[in-house]
Amino acid sequence: MANIHPLATVHPGAKLGENVEVGPYAYIDDNVEIGDNTRILPHATIFPYVKIGKDCSVFPGAVIGAIPQDYKFNGEITWVEIGDRVNIRECATINRGTKASGKGVTKIGDDTLIMSYAHVAHDCCVGQHCVLVSYVGIAGETDVEDWAIIGGGTKVHQFSHIGTHAMVGGGTGVNKDVPPYSLCGRQPLVYAGVNLVGLRRRGFDSDVIRNIKDIYDMIYYQGYNFSDAIDRIEAGFPDSVEKKNILDFIRNSKRGIVRARDLHEKGGIE
């Protein structure tokens, strides 16, 4: 049975799981499903056509399921789908999808953290174990793969793609795709190496990390164009999950991947 504060507003058509907590002045509309043990804290707003998983927290001022900020939206039924153990902090916003995109759904994966004032636009897909730091804005139809971290205040162009285990420095603008396992930052955005700290924290073996670094050295620092580098990596490196992820990402990139930081520059990511 849900624990609904008497000052909350919950539409009778909403489906709340066991032990759901709804705080004072929270608003939950029709066609909303909320999983067991999830907390909707005071003054949070859940509009129609939202599914939220188990053990999530939606903090005060957050707005989930507002209609897309997109001229292509024509009132059609579209959704927001949020996984389990997702934390959505104060005043974050997550908009519904649009049918015009062919998706019709905005997705947030399990165990992801959306920090305060972050914005996830229509038809974005954010994977599992991701972190969107405060004031991040990701524009429509952006894909963020599992374990990616986007630093505070970063703005991501529509249709962008951020790869698995990548980290984007704070206060940047993403207008090119960010490949897997990479560390990127500065203005304009550049590749600055492999996300060594993140990979070590997640248990990647030193040999695997070295192999990733060698692949990126071939892509960025051996003087080859991307096509030639891919051919050399395909022929010269042993098969691995990481190699496949990197090459598939580059081949499928629609915006092109970020360029490299000049090796002669002093200092790292600021």
Q: Which residues are catalytic?
A: 122-123, 140
φ/ψ of residue 16, rounded to 5: -110, 135
**Residue 13 corresponds to which amino acid?**
G
The Cα–Cα gap between 106 and 94 comes to: 8
Q: DSSP readout, the chain?
A: --EE-TT-EE-TT-EE-TT-EE-TT-EE-SSEEE-TT-EE-TT-EE-SSEEE-TT-EE-TT-EEEEPPS-TT--S---EEEE-SS-EE-TT-EEE---GGGT--EEEE-TT-EE-TT-EE-TT-EE-TT-EE-TT-EE-TT-EE-TT-EE-TT-EE-TT-EE-TT-EE-TT-EE-SBB-TTEEEETTTTEEEEE-HHHHHHTT--HHHHHHHHHHHHHHHHSS--HHHHHHHHHHHS---HHHHHHHHHHHH-SS-BPEEPPTTS-S---
Residues comprising the chain, all counted: 270
